[in-house]
Amino acid sequence: MDIIVLAGGLSPERNVSLSSGTKVCQALRDRGHRAALVDLYLGTEKTAEELYAAPLELSAIDRRAPDLEAVKASRRGGEDGQFGPNVLSLCKGADVVFLALHGSCGEDGRVQAAFDLLGIPYTGSGHLGSAIAMDKDLTKRIVAPLGVLTPKWQSVVVTESNMAALTKTLDLPCVVKPVDSGSSIGVSIAHDRSELAEALKEAARLGGRTVIEEYIAGREIQVGVLEGKALPSIEIIPKVGFYDYENKYQPGAAEEICPAPIPKEWEERLAKTTETVFEALGLSVYSRADFIVTEDGSAWFLEINTLPGMTPTSLVPQEAEAVGVGYGELCERIINASLKARSEGR
């Protein structure tokens, strides 16, 4: 097949996306496909044939999120919008677009909606499920009534005018996170008022729309889904702090154990909860759900990601490997399941 791997974009997770996209593109080439890596935001002046033959270089992910203003300044032509030069024409000419995008404008349903209108087949969930899953508040509102255990939360818009009042009144400890971001960008755990004040300042800097969540102490366990079925769970043990942006993507920063060393009944509970959330949000093909599991085996659902990372340190490929599905096969299964989902209107 001719496959465009769409990555990059204008999101704080841009560098993670480029790492995912490069690895996916190489794996697809190794499986005999013609695959080309294209940056959603910067676009390209090269032809499809040039891109299919272009060499790939996998670079390490920086410890910090990228400077998006510098990315904007590097774009040629000065056009507005998220689609760079020639992106849509290249995508239209391919058999399928593998979405290796992460974060806003990529995982939030907007690119999917545009492709649906243009008749461009793509990987992963459809536009509606993607949009709902990206909103942590809306996701919780949908799944909590289904019996899914999730930490108590509230959604607020943090501004200069309410920051002082929030700092004084919010219960501690708590987790402060953007309502629609990923890779733990902007996520803070506040144990005291000073830490809370700093977390709220960061929340305001990132746009203000914020989820304030009850802090649950426990083991960090995540569960992938492939073709609607839960994969083996994976436990994350950061060497320092929690599983933040740096610990996610710096090799050796966290120990990752798959399958997670937990009792069978815990594993079954996690799988059932993950599949419940997946189905309730109308997702398709693949995803990854994040949990905190306490000493009594309670599985506290945090969020679900519709385009989980495919980087060298990412979790879903490790979970698939645990059931005998190698990286290249995983990419092909995602493509085939996605084409089926698109043909069925999902």
CB burial string 241-264: b at 16+ within 10 A, e below: eebbbbbbbeeebbebebebebee
Q: What is the per-residue pLDDT for 345? A: 85
Question: What average pLDDT does range 44-59 have in this prediction?
Answer: 92
Is residue 262 within 8 Å of 75, Cβ to Cβ?
A: no
| Nearest C-alpha neighbor of 174 from the set 211, 218, 146 | 211
**What is the CATH architecture of 134-148+217-343?**
2-Layer Sandwich (3.30)
d(CA 344, CA 111): 19
* Owner of token pair 């090269």: 46
Q: Is the pLDDT of residue 183 over 70?
A: no
Residue 243 pLDDT: 45
Q: Count of residues for the chain?
A: 346
Computed on alpha carbons and rounded to an integer, the radius of gyration of the chain in Å comes to 20
Sign of the torsion formed by the C-alpha atoms of 241, 246, 247 and 248: positive
pLDDT in tens, 131-151: 999 999 999 999 999 999 999
- pTM confidence score: 0.91
Q: Across the strands, what pairs with 287?
A: 225
Per CATH, the homologous superfamily of domain 153-214 is ATP-grasp fold, A domain (3.30.1490.20)
Spatial contact of 176 and 199, defined as CB atoms under 8 Å apart: yes
Both tokens assigned to 307: 């385009």
**Boundaries of every domain in the chain:** 2-122, 134-148+217-343, 153-214
Contacts 24+ apart (CB under 8 A), 164-168: 166/196, 166/200, 166/212, 167/193, 167/196, 167/197, 167/200, 168/193
Query: Is the Cα dihedral 128, 134, 135, 141 positive or negative?
Result: positive
Pair 120, 95: CB distance under 8 Å: no
pLDDT tens per residue, range 298-307: 999 999 999 9
Range with lowest mean pLDDT among 51-60, 137-146, 308-317: 51-60
Choose among 15, 90, 7: nearest CA to 42. 7
**What confidence score (pLDDT) does residue 249 get?**
47
111: which 2 tokens?
Answer: 């690119």
- For the domain 2-122, what is the CATH code? 3.40.50.20
